[in-house]
Amino acid sequence: MKGFLVAASLMAMTEADWKAEDARLSLAQETEQESETLVVQDGNHDALSERRSRSYIEVAGCDLTALIEEAGSDGQRVRSLTFDLARTILPESEDPNSLKWGVVDLGEGGRFGEILFEFTPPYTPTPNGFHYPDAPHKPTSWHYFTLRQLDDCAQPYRLLVLLTRYQDSYCSFTR
């Protein structure tokens, strides 16, 4: 019966509905692609093997999941935080002096970008997956998403613009 209801609702979608859904999926995919960064640290000694770290955001409706995957000789670890974009305060993308998003230049250490996601009280999502012993998982009212090893300093800005456009179009902000 459930399959019949899904099929019936899909048949009831108009061409305009399909175009709107295609636009939403396209914006979600563009956001996911813009969020991804990959860092590879070569093992330069016998004791240090190559390490890979990948950061990205997955978009599923109004639920976003910020992920960090780390892989090395000791296996793979994943940390994530899933949150409701409709209950998230995004920084103003047009404020280049904002302390809530931007690029940090570490000189020879490279550059990284970050965007602060603040969650509307009393909403406090809880991180999942691997955690460091001194940083256990507990509900949080904010999260810094980090874009590592930036080659393009405009990437955090573009990601923030895409997130804002997605929120404005599909996930009405609620307090």
106-164 pLDDT, tens digit each: 888 788 999 999 999 999 999 888 776 666 678 999 999 999 888 888 999 999 999 99
Tokens of 59: 């978009």
pLDDT band at 43 (very low <50, low <70, confident <90, very high): low
Provide the 10 A C-beta neighbour count for residue 156.
26
User: Which pLDDT score is estimated for 21?
Assistant: 86
Residue 144 pairs in a beta bridge with: 116
List, in sequence order, the alpha helices (H) in the chain.
2-11, 15-35, 155-170
Give the distance from CA 102 to its chain's centroid.
Answer: 15
Q: Say if residue 9's pLDDT is above 60.
A: no
pTM of the model: 0.82
Q: Say if residue 8's pLDDT is above 60.
A: no
- The domain ranges of the chain are 2-170
What single DSSP character describes residue 98? -
Q: Which amino acid is at 85?
A: L
